[in-house]
Each structure stands twice: as structure tokens, then as C-alpha cells.
Structure 1
Amino acid sequence: MLDVSEDVRAEIGDTEADRLLAGDSAPGSYDCTSCRTPGNSEQERTSTVLFVGDETAVLAFAHATCIPSQVVQVAEDQLQGAVRSITGDEHGGAALPQNIPGGQAVLGITSGLVLIDGDLHPALVVEPTGAIARPGTDGSQGDEFLQLLVEQGFHSVHRMEERPAALPGWSILLAMGQLHAVLQPGTDGGAPVAWWQAHTPLQVTEGWRTAAGKSQTVLVYAAPAGTIGQQPREDLMRDALDKAAAEGLLVAAAMPLAGT
């Protein structure tokens, strides 16, 4: 039940890809590199995620419901640090650690609908796989993910009943009914650039697309690693968001659609 994308296959070669698909080198049990909860490739669909540096590559595994199989570019020094602290299970599966030095980590995004003032709003919940350090620091200051977003214009959320304020210059790229990217303003007034970009466009539900088409706005919530998790139902996601807001661990912004 392993998914190996064409991009991953191109990087690891047909022989290794076929061995994975045949189960010869499948991970068995693993810790999902996206949501950090246990998974089992023999019982549920599993994505192969290849982290690639300049000289090093690390193959990790994730629930297919969390992220698709893809290649993720990572700075070599960060990947080397991750390699030193990677833990593998008895079946040979491995996942990147939660705290990748230097401020980079994979951003997981979950789509869902949230109820505010009796209306359903399309929302995205962003949660990194590990603690985020301020660029240029050694991470000794702890997780600065929320503070970095506040500096970008996100606002703290204390009650989910309040609709987040708009964030000028940011937008959601939705094309052909699929989620492609979260865009942020370019430097010096240049064209918008991707703050987060899907390696493979992400499917969203028909209800989510309909709500987004109606409002032309998406509410983006963000929380530190391990706060929300991969919730199987929207009511559970809402409960997790309510808890994060109450604990002061949630920021948000409203963003217009940049596509259709």
C-alpha cells in the first residue's frame, strides 16, 4: 500500500522503487513525517517522501492522507543534522526528526470547513513537522513559528468565533479545483512568491470548493508542531483549534483566492 511518485522514482531509481512497491524494503511501521503519529504501510496507504540535499538524500514515510509522495529540497547542512538524529524502526523505516536545525521543516496543510456566526468558511490549517527556528539562528530560542507569522501580519486567535482579519498581499492559489499554493508578497513589490507550495496539487472537497467560490476567501490558521495533528473529522479539527486558541497557540489570517 505504498505510493511512490514519479519524481521520487526518478531520484531513487527504478530498482529501489520497485523493491519498495514489492514490499522488499517497505517501512512496515513508521512515524509519519507529516503528523508524527504512527503509521503502517501494510495496513494503510503510505507516501514515500524523499528529502534531498546537495549530497544527501533521506527517504521518509507519511500517511497518504497527510501528504502525497514527493521530493522535498532541504539545505545540505540541515539534512546532515537531521540524518544524525533520525530514528529507524526494526523494519528499516525512518522519519525526519521534529526539530530540523536552521528553521526549515515541512509544512503540513489540512483543509476543512469551520463554522463562524452560523456560516461555513473554507479553512486551511498549517502545522509544521517540527519546531521552527528563526533563520540565521541555531534554534536555541525555541520554536518561533508563531512569532515569525505574527511579524508577517498574522493575528493571534483567542476565540474561534471571531473571523480572522485579512492579510494584504497574501492569497490562496486554487486552480482546476485543486490547492496549489499559499502565496506571499514578493520582495520590493515584486510578483507574489510561494510561502507553501504543493508538490502535487492537493484535492479539496466539493463542499470546500463551493464555500471558497462563494466567499472568494480562505481562512488560514497556523499552530506549532504537535498542536492540532491530523484529525480525521472536521468536528475534531474544530475541537483542536478551539483548544489551541484557548492556550494561545493559534494565529490566523483571511486570504483571497488567486485562482478559480
Structure 2
Amino acid sequence: MPRMLDVSDDVRAEIGDEEADRLLAGENTPGSYDCTSCRTPGDSGQERTSTVLFVGEETAVLAFAHASCLPSQIVTVSEEQLQGAVRSITREDGTVPTEATPSQAVLGVTSGLVLIEGELHPALVVEPTGPIARPGAAPGGGDDFLPLLIEQGFLPVASLDTVPPVLHGWSVLLAMGQLHAVFQPGPHGSAPVAWWQAHQPLQVTDEWRTAVNKTRTVLLFAGPAGSIGRQPREDLLRDALDGAAARGLLAAGAMPLAGT
């Protein structure tokens, strides 16, 4: 039975016309699936469905998502992330990979509006739940999250007086008014890599969505575990950011919005 399937040009080029045509004809497409974005059931025979191709160093996995959650696309991930995605898709565990580091810590993400130079800016605040080790480092070697961010182009922040510079090649995916992922440049000019991907799309406030639709840019502030904390109000979040900056524990960058 033909499926209500979206196969992007990029995905078609990667899997080939023959395989894409088989998918569209329903030969290799499951009728029901768990959306790779929101993790709720979908039915490609009843609703628009996107093909999402996860590509690692050696392998690739084709997954499916509600078209309302994600467009059909290629997502480049590390081999470690890809194996995590396979476990998630096959329900060996209930998580979607969130980062490309070997640490077991998870990136906590909070959205909020930050006042800089008299204007409210849509922002994401990222703090791991535990120390992040440098890839290849011995266990217990300390927290390298902040140095790794700076090596990737984030700017150390001493105060929140000015808007941080744009991180070229980075972007924030917002679809149907919900946060889905933060992408970083792929290695050697390849397709963007999912630096953080939501286990379930994150809701944002109407005010945040209005601000980001105006600026088309998101400010991302990040600090090591314990530097910011999960703050219930934006005024407390701003105080925590100011405190982290004053202690030299904050890095930031601006990145364009992808999606709507």
C-alpha cells in the first residue's frame, strides 16, 4: 500500500532512487512506527511521515517521524550516537542520544528571554548533569566541558553586557513551535551534526517564540555542571548566568534559527 511518506532530495540521494521508490510504494516502510522525535506512535498509511536518515562513520539507520515534528532530512552523528539511536528505535532503551561525548552526563536545556542592551533575546541555557570528559580521556580526569565549548568557537563570557558573536555553521531547530535540536558543523565540511537532540520536543513560551520569530537568532549560554542550575524563573536564571559569568564559568554564542 502506498505510504504518505516524505523523502527529501538529500535522503533520496543517499539511499538511491530504487530504495526511495520502494519506500514510497510501501514495500519497506512499516505502517506503524514510533516517531524518532516525539517518541509517540505514527502511521505512515494515515498521516504525513518524514524519513530521517541517521548517518554515522560506518553505518546508517533510516527512521521515521511525524512530518509535523521533523522534515525529512539527513542527521550526521557519531558512530556511538548512531548505536544509541538504534537502541532507541528498537526499544532496547528509551532514550535518544543527546551528545557526542563519551560521558554519560546528559545536557540539560532551558529556554528563556535574556535582556541585553535593552532588548529581550531568546536564549537557550545548557548545563550538563555531570562532568564532561574530553574524548579519549581517562575516567575521573576532570570536567572539560568549558574548554571543549571554547575550542568549538564559543566565546568565554565575563558579563552579559553584549550579544555574543555568531557561531557559523551552528543552528537551532524549531519545528511547530517546539525545540528539537541544536546542530553543529559536521567534520570536514560535511552535513551538520546533532550536538543536542531532544528526547521529546521541548515547549517554549509564546513570548520566547515571538522573540525568536523576530530575531531569527538564538543565544546559547553554557556552563559546566553545577555552574547555573535549573532556575524556575527568568529573573533567577539571569542572576545565575551573571554569577557563572563572574566566576569565569560561562561561554556563549549566537546561532540562526532553523525551522519555524
The TM-score bracket by the shorter chain reads 0.5 to 0.7
How far residue 199 of structure 1 moved from its aligned partner, in angstroms, is 1.7
SS in 2 for 1:196: strand
Q: Equivalents in 1 of 2:107, 2:117: separation in Å?
A: 29
Query: Compared with structure 1, are the counterparts of its residues 198 and 52 closer, same or farther at alpha carbon in structure 2 (3 Å cutoff)?
Result: closer
The residue that corresponds to 2:185 in the other structure is 185
The residue that corresponds to 1:173 in the other structure is 173
How far residue 7 of structure 1 moved from its aligned partner, in angstroms, is 5.4
The residue that corresponds to 2:249 in the other structure is 249
Equivalent AA in structure 1 for residue 164 of structure 2 = P
Among residues 46, 71, 75, which one is paired with 2:95 in the alignment? 71
Q: Equivalents in 1 of 2:217, 2:97: separation in Å?
A: 30
Residue pair 1:132, 1:139 contacting (<8 A) in 2 also: no
How far residue 102 of structure 1 moved from its aligned partner, in angstroms, is 4.1
Give the number of aligned pairs: 178
How far residue 259 of structure 1 moved from its aligned partner, in angstroms, is 1.1
The residue that corresponds to 1:240 in the other structure is 240
Q: Equivalents in 2 of 1:150, 1:73: separation in Å?
A: 22
Please, which runs of 5 or more residues in structure 2 have no aligned partner? 1-37, 41-83
SS in 2 for 1:158: coil
Q: Equivalents in 2 of 1:172, 1:245: separation in Å?
A: 23
> Are 1:156 and 2:156 counterparts?
yes
Q: Equivalents in 2 of 1:220, 1:135: separation in Å?
A: 22
SS in 1 for 2:202: strand
The residue that corresponds to 1:120 in the other structure is 120
> Are 1:224 and 2:248 counterparts?
no
Q: How large is the RMSD of aligned CA atoms in angstroms?
A: 2.8
Cα deviation code 1:178-218 (max 9, x no counterpart) = 10100011122111121000121111000001100100100
Q: Equivalents in 2 of 1:205, 1:233: separation in Å?
A: 12
Residue pair 2:39, 2:200 contacting (<8 A) in 1 also: no
Residue pair 2:103, 2:131 contacting (<8 A) in 1 also: yes
Please, which runs of 5 or more residues in structure 1 have no aligned partner? 1-5, 9-50, 60-69, 75-100
The residue that corresponds to 2:35 in the other structure is none
> Are 1:143 and 2:143 counterparts?
yes
Q: TM-score, normalised by structure 2?
A: 0.63
How far residue 141 of structure 1 moved from its aligned partner, in angstroms, is 3.2
How far residue 52 of structure 1 moved from its aligned partner, in angstroms, is 10
The residue that corresponds to 1:103 in the other structure is 103
Query: Compared with structure 1, are the counterparts of its residues 167 and 128 closer, same or farther at alpha carbon in structure 2 (3 Å cutoff)?
Result: same
Q: TM-score, normalised by structure 1?
A: 0.63
Residue pair 1:217, 1:255 contacting (<8 A) in 2 also: yes
Q: Equivalents in 1 of 2:145, 2:185: separation in Å?
A: 18
Q: Equivalents in 1 of 2:250, 2:97: separation in Å?
A: 27
Runs of 4+ in 1 over 3 A off after TM superposition: 51-54
Residue pair 1:103, 1:131 contacting (<8 A) in 2 also: yes
SS in 2 for 1:258: strand
How far residue 229 of structure 1 moved from its aligned partner, in angstroms, is 1.1
Equivalent AA in structure 1 for residue 221 of structure 2 = Y
SS in 2 for 1:164: coil
Residue pair 2:184, 2:193 contacting (<8 A) in 1 also: yes
Query: Percent same amino acid at aligned positions?
Result: 65
Q: Equivalents in 2 of 1:167, 1:73: separation in Å?
A: 23
How far residue 167 of structure 1 moved from its aligned partner, in angstroms, is 0.5
The residue that corresponds to 2:258 in the other structure is 258
Residue pair 1:108, 1:129 contacting (<8 A) in 2 also: yes
Residue pair 1:104, 1:133 contacting (<8 A) in 2 also: no
